[in-house]
Chain A
């Protein structure tokens, strides 16, 4: 099996706070890999660690191994630039560049990377906007500021921006969370179409979406991987019940821990 991302014993801190603890996952090449788990369990942090965006934050600390396309990105700086150029990202909240037009938001990546220019660039921008389902809504106002778009339109613009650099690995953090069902369906269609060609790591709170799109994935809880494997082995039955069980299990182990501490104190 070809592997795109291999993470071993990854721990991440924001200052004193531990966000991920000894995480190990393997993302097969050309697959859609779902990352699931309750809010605050470290899904976004995990994505940020793959393309090193985590290092932009003051006080962030990374320990362990992250291999992307076979390159240990935290230990070989010269090669990691080359590898990370193949990684695109769609963020949890839409963040189009406020100083650029709709067109330039999509074009800036390929333009600065020298991937396309002139007519070719126009074609690439159109292709990306069509794929993200935004073209029809913006084709007459490509030179307007991106900030004039609605939240869901901005989200699709950010998807187009990530597509335009033609990534081989796409990190998507809840890409359909801001979208209506029709547009969400378009994005799911896009993800299906892209899988096989490229690898996608998909964070989602929608278990049905994960089942529809992903072949494998991981379930995180409190910064740790609870289980990893084929998607059916992770969520069999109700996702809600699954999270509920995780939380109540956690609570009982915590109370038993404090109880044993109390007993020790008394003893």
Chain B
């Protein structure tokens, strides 16, 4: 019979091995994705240089061109979605945490829960029916709206959580100054937590940047020029989606360059989030 001590060391070793293998596997997958993107995308970047960010895609089977118009479309849509998402999501988050027993707060909580649970492709379809069909065409605006709706629950929930994390002693200090509650919340509690709120908005931006499904039916597929807010446009994720499945080598290579670009943008945002949330001094 195996002694108890031996069994314990064995279980210990096996658990350690399992965890180690799982972590290494995860690391491998992540590294693999980035490595492939680098291997496929870097040569294109080296070949095209800055023109990649300005030119529009080449003809099928022709030169690589660039994703300039799509980059503009991405920035315009993601930025619009983040700003609108912040304008609605931040006050909603404040409402949910500071006035949690109010009926409006409860409604907001339920509504956001609902939106968060809807698959993002359905959000795209709803915007398609409500905005794209009446307007008669997909547009950057419709795309931004879909992205905004997908990012909204994240921004609100994160805002709320960051407010809830304010230590009770600071909260008490704020409420001991004899101000009306709304003033205490807006002029002391919220400013105390600006970093947390900025982090919440950035997380929403990251979310909007990475989504493809919401813009599939709403943003259009205009890769060759940026025509304006109310006209068809495109995002990097859409470009990858469409160009990667074509048989043309030059378009596939452009898609890889877009993959690399998307990864870089996401990492920059992730870095900013980490820097911001790491520096919260409370």
Q: How far is the CA of A57 from the CA of B171 in the complex (A)?
A: 10
Interface of B is mostly: helix
On chain B, the residues within 8 Å of A57 by CB distance are 168
Beyond A91-B169, A95-B169, A112-B183, is A51–B176 a contact (Cβ under 8 Å)?
yes
B188 at the interface (CB under 8 A from A): yes
Per a CB cutoff under 8 Å, which of A81, A86, A97, A165 touches B173? A97
**Interfacial chain A residues near B173, Cβ < 8 Å:** 91, 95-97, 158, 161
Q: What is the number of residues of chain A that contact chain B, defined by CB distance less than 8 Å?
A: 29
Interface string of B184-196 (1 = CB under 8 A from A): 0001100110100
A residues 130-174 touching B (CB-CB < 8 Å): 147, 158, 161-162, 165, 167
Q: How far is the CA of A84 from the CA of B172 in the complex (A)?
A: 14
A111 nearest in chain B by CB position: B187
Scan residues 18-71 of chain A and give those whose CB is less than 8 A from a CB of chain B. Answer: 48, 51, 53, 56-57
Residues of B within 8 A of A167 (CB): 178
- Kindly state whether residue B5 has any CB partner on chain A within 8 Å: no
Output the nearest chain A residue to B174 by Cβ-Cβ distance. Answer: A97
Collect the chain B residues with CB atoms within 8 Å of residue A53's CB: 172, 175-176
> Within the complex, which residue of A86, A91, A113 is in contact with B172, where a contact is CB–CB below 8 Å?
A91
Q: A257 CA to B175 CA in the complex, in Å?
A: 43
Residues of B within 8 A of A48 (CB): 172
Chain A min CB distance to B101 (Å): 11
**B188-A108 in contact (CB<8A):** yes
Contacts of B178 in A (CB 8 A): 84-88, 109, 113, 165, 167
Q: CB-defined interface of A96-122 with B at 8 Å, one 1/0 digit per residue?
A: 111100000000110011000000000
Residues of A within 8 A of B172 (CB): 48, 53, 56, 89, 91, 95
CA distance A86 to B177 in the complex (A): 9
Residues of the B chain whose Cβ atoms lie less than 8 Å from the Cβ of A93: 169
For B33, what are the chain A residues with a Cβ–Cβ distance below 8 Å?
none
Majority-rule SS of A interface residues? mixed
Size of the chain B interface, CB-CB below 8 angstroms:
21
- Nearest Cβ in chain B — how far from A220, in angstroms? 20
Q: Contact: B175 with A88, CB < 8 Å?
A: no
Instruction: State A81–B179 Cα separation when bound (angstroms).
Output: 8
Question: A205-228: which have CB < 8 Å to B?
Answer: none
Q: How many angstroms from the CA of A56 to the CA of B101 in the assembled complex?
A: 12
Partner of B177, one of A91, A96, A108, A147: A108
Nearest CB of B to A1, in Å: 25
B170 at the interface (CB under 8 A from A): yes
Residue from A56, A81, A87 in contact with B180 in the complex, judged by beta carbons closer than 8 Å: A81
Interface residues of B in 150-204 (CB under 8 A from A): 168-180, 183, 187-188, 191-192, 194
Chain A residue nearest to B191 in the complex (CB): A99
Residue ID in chain A nearest B178 by CB atoms: A85
Take A87-B178, A109-B177 as given contacts and tell me if A98 and B169 are in contact as well, using a CB distance cutoff of 8 Å.
no
Q: How far is the CA of A8 from the CA of B53 in the complex (A)?
A: 74
A56 touches B175 (CB 8 A): yes
24 residue pairs of the A-B complex, CB under 8 angstroms, read: A56-B171, A56-B172, A84-B178, A86-B178, A88-B178, A91-B169, A91-B172, A93-B169, A95-B172, A97-B170, A98-B170, A98-B192, A98-B281, A98-B282, A99-B192, A108-B177, A109-B177, A109-B178, A109-B179, A112-B188, A147-B281, A158-B173, A161-B177, A165-B177
Q: B-contacting residues of A (Cβ < 8 Å)?
A: 48, 51, 53, 56-57, 81, 84-89, 91, 93, 95-99, 108-109, 112-113, 147, 158, 161-162, 165, 167
